[in-house]
């Protein structure tokens, strides 16, 4: 909730100091920076999970294949590889404090929204002692939580889908966000915070309505995210047909996965378990 | 496994009936005094003393279903068989040995299926458990990781997140061993490794849990036998006739297979012979005609060849 640490036992100096130091250049509009001298680390991704191995080998090309089987994504590089063009934006950095014997222990909580403006969004929240660490961690978490967003039409089905398929609502804490389909050209009719999220989702027109304490950015942004997740959870007549089951990638590529990975030849194949 | 058609004691029993007989002997049909509502369909009746009796026909069918699922996994190493309880640990290890799966005996470290940073991280395609109650941690984790679960469920076992529940008694040591033995045999039969109708040469007793003291006793008895084999070795092949040599060969391999001690009567003559310490000469003179045939049946041929 509202982290007005200043109320606790004073020490506004510390509060201001911590905030100012971290907040100066890091607030808002950090577009995937921090990639400067780190090229080498990124290229050497050694997948740990089976899914990671399949994605690295290129057996899985679209993230939709992962969504189809509800596979948990544990490595953010998977998303980076499958959804190119992911942009991230820091929504807010709030300092949160904990009281200790020796004063307050301040940490920074970063909210990051990630998206490709074409049907995929992710939201990440991370708290860390330094702003940069928090932002980095939040970006990773946001990538792990990328979900598909279903878009539909308001009226005539001409052109590409541009709005939400139906009225959906999402809730987090006391904040409820309701999204209503809008005709083309309406634009995103929403507050600054959800507008950002909806832009990243790739929704062009929508009417929104919110309730509750929208001041709490954390809950507000989570509520819109929850709302967007529900767009694919809504059963419309298009889904009435019987599902044609597809083999899971783990079954399809079981031979490939059975091979031990290079680094592990020394110890044992991935599937060995040491209790 | 032809389905039985009435009749009974006079004609030969079908595979299914034999299995059910074995399960009855192992007390697989005895449940507990409580019954979970989802297990009601597998219960036959409640005894006067409150114990629920499980319908073994349904147990057998569920075992078949589980075996089919196990066979459908292309890579057997992706299957994990688990038991936290001591009674199931030996069975689980043997099952894994014969079907090619992986066994976890003992404590399940939380996060084995979910924490990718752990060294013991593994993503199995199938999980087989002995008891949903004691093995509740792996069940919770497999739910997070899209892993189907098969478990032996007693009448009072929680069925949450268990995909295939095999109604059975998972409290008794014989029961657990018997069930894993049957499941392993069914899997091997479906794969084609064993021909149906033939007896599986691996004994059920191999899957039973042995107390450490009991295991120690058997090992001591087995240790005594090889000592004698060593002695005869030194006393030279020249003095002994070919007959006696082969009889010496036949007996030692028989003794160490610990399982045979269960079926005590047959080897008793030999047992006595060994106990009468010293040269086996007097005993062997009478024993060879009796022992040799059985010895050859039980002892695997390669050992004999090694001696000759």
Residue A266, chain B, CB below 8 Å: the answer is no
Nearest-CA distance B136 → chain A (Å):
16
Greater confidence, A27 or A54?
A54
Half-sphere exposure at residue A252, Cβ-oriented, CA atoms within 13 angstroms:
11
pLDDT for residue B300 is more than 50: no
Probe site for chain A from B103, B122, B128 (most A CB atoms < 10 A) = B122
Write the CATH number of the domain with boundaries A168-230: 3.30.230.10
The 10s digit of each residue's pLDDT in B157-196 is 999 999 999 999 999 989 999 999 999 999 999 999 888 8
Alpha-carbon span B192 to A87, nearest angstrom = 54
Over range B257-262, report the average pLDDT.
42
- CB pairs < 8 Å spanning A and B: 57
User: What element of type H or E holds B118?
Assistant: none
Please report residues of B whose CB lies closer than 8 A to that of A74: 116
Residue of B nearest to A264 (CA): B119
- Full DSSP string of B151-195: EEE-TT---TT-SEEEE---SSHHHHHHHHHHHHHHHHHHHTSS-
**Does residue A250 sit at the B interface (CB-CB below 8 Å)?**
yes
Query: Which position has the higher pLDDT, B307 or A141?
Result: A141
Residue A128, phi then psi, degrees to nearest 5? -150, 170
Determine which of A45, A54, A275 to mutate to test the interface with B (most B C-beta atoms within 10 Å). A275
Report the residue from A72, A251, A270 with minimal CB separation from B122: A270
Confidence of residue A260 (pLDDT cuts 50, 70, 90): confident
Mutate to test the interface with A, among B114, B116, B127, B148 (most CBs of A within 10 A): B116
- CB distance A70–B125 less than 8 Å? no
User: What residues in A contact B125, CB-CB < 8 Å?
Assistant: 250-251, 254
* Mean pLDDT, rounded, for B262-289: 43
End-to-end C-alpha distance for chain B, whole angstroms: 41
From chain A residues 89-108, the ones with a CB under 8 A of any chain B CB are: none
Would the pLDDT of A22 be above 50?
A: no
Assess B107–A contact: CB distance below 8 Å, yes or no.
yes
> Does the pLDDT at position A25 exceed 80?
no
Query: Is the model's pLDDT at B68 over the cut of 90?
Result: yes
pLDDT at B211: 87
B263 DSSP assignment: S
Q: Is there a contact between B122 and A272 if contact means CB atoms under 8 Å apart?
A: yes
For A68-78, b/e burial (b = at least 16 CB within 10 A) is eeebebbbbbb
| Residue that wins the pLDDT comparison between B270 and A114 | A114
Checking if the pLDDT of B271 tops 80, the result is no
State the pLDDT at residue B233: 52
Give me the CATH code for the A50-148 domain, please: 3.30.160.20
Q: Reduced to 3 states, what is the DSSP secondary structure of residue A108? A: strand
Question: In chain B, what are the domains?
Answer: 15-116+128-208 (3.40.50.10490)
Residue B277 has pLDDT above 60, yes or no: no
Span B187-241, pLDDT tens digits: 999 999 888 878 888 999 999 998 888 878 888 888 777 766 555 555 544 554 4
Do residue B123 and residue A251 have CB atoms under 8 angstroms apart?
no
Tell me, what's the ipTM? Answer: 0.74
Triad B161, A59, B100: Cα angle to 5°: 50
Specify the pLDDT at position B215: 78
Is the pLDDT assigned to residue A93 strictly greater than 70? yes
Contact between residue B147 and residue B127 where contact means Cβ atoms under 8 Å apart: yes
Mutate which of B78, B81, B109 to disrupt the A interface (most A C-beta within 10 Å)? B78
Among A150-159, B57-66, B97-106, B269-278, the minimum mean pLDDT is found in: B269-278
Q: What are the structural domain ranges in chain A?
A: 50-148, 168-230
Determine whether the interchain pair B120/A257 forms a contact, defined as Cβ–Cβ distance below 8 Å.
no
Of A69, A250, A274, the CB nearest to B125: A250
Q: Is the CB of B118 inside 8 Å of chain A's CB atoms?
A: no
- What mean pLDDT, rounded, does chain A reach? 85
């Amino acid at each position: 909730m509202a982290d007005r640490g200043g109320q606790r036992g004073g020490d506004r100096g510390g509060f201001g100091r911590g905030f100012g130091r971290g907040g100066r250049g890091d607030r808002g509009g950090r577009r995937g920076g921090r990639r400067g001298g780190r090229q080498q680390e990124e290229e050497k991704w050694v997948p740990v999970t089976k899914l990671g191995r399949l994605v690295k080998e290129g057996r899985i090309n679209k993230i939709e294949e992962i969504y189809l089987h509800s596979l948990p994504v544990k490595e953010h590089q998977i998303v980076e590889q499958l959804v190119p063009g992911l942009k991230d934006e820091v929504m807010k950095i709030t300092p949160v404090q904990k009281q200790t014997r020796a004063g307050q222990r301040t940490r920074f909580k970063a909210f990051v929204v990630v998206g490709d403006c074409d049907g995929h969004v992710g939201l990440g929240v991370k708290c860390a002692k330094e702003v940069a660490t928090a932002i980095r961690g939040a970006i990773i978490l946001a990538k792990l939580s990328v979900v598909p967003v279903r878009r539909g039409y308001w009226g005539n089905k001409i052109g590409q889908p541009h709005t939400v398929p139906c009225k959906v609502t999402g809730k987090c804490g006391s904040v409820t966000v309701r999204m209503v389909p809008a005709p083309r050209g309406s634009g995103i009719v929403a507050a600054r915070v959800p507008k950002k999220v909806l832009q990243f989702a790739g929704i062009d027109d929508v009417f929104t309505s919110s309730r509750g304490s929208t001041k709490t950015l954390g809950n507000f942004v989570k509520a819109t995210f929850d709302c967007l997740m529900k767009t694919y959870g809504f059963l419309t007549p298009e889904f009435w047909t019987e599902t044609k089951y597809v083999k899971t990638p783990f079954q399809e590529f079981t031979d490939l996965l059975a091979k031990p990975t290079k680094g592990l030849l020394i110890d044992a194949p991935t599937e060995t378990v040491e209790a | 496994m032809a389905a039985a058609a009435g009749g009974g004691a006079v004609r030969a029993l079908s595979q299914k009936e034999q299995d059910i007989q074995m399960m009855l002997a192992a007390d697989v049909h005895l449940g507990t005094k409580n019954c979970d509502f989802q297990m009601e369909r597998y219960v036959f009746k409640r005894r006067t003393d409150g114990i629920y009796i499980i319908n073994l026909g349904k147990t057998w069918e569920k075992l078949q279903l589980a075996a089919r699922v196990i066979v459908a996994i292309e890579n057997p190493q992706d299957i994990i068989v688990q038991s936290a309880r001591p009674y199931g640990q030996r069975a689980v290890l043997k099952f894994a040995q014969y079907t090619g799966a992986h066994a976890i005996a003992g404590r399940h470290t939380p996060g084995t299926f979910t924490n990718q940073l752990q060294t013991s991280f593994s993503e199995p395609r199938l999980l087989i458990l002995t008891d949903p109650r004691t093995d509740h941690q792996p069940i919770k984790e497999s739910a997070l990781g899209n892993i189907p679960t098969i478990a032996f469920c007693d009448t009072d076992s929680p069925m949450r997140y268990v995909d295939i529940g095999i109604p059975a008694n998972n409290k008794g040591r014989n029961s657990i061993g018997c069930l894993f033995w049957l499941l392993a045999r069914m899997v091997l039969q479906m794969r084609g490794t064993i021909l149906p109708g033939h007896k599986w040469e691996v004994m059920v007793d191999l899957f039973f849990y042995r107390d450490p003291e009991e295991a120690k006793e058997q090992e001591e008895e087995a240790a005594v036998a090889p000592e004698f084999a060593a002695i005869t070795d030194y006393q030279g092949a020249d003095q002994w006739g070919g007959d006696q040599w082969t009889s010496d060969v036949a007996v030692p391999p028989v003794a160490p297979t610990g399982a045979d001690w269960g079926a005590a009567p047959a080897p008793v003559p030999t047992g006595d012979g060994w106990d009468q310490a010293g040269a086996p000469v007097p005993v062997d003179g009478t024993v060879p005609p009796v022992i040799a045939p059985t010895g050859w049946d039980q002892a695997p041929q390669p050992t004999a060849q090694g001696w000759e």
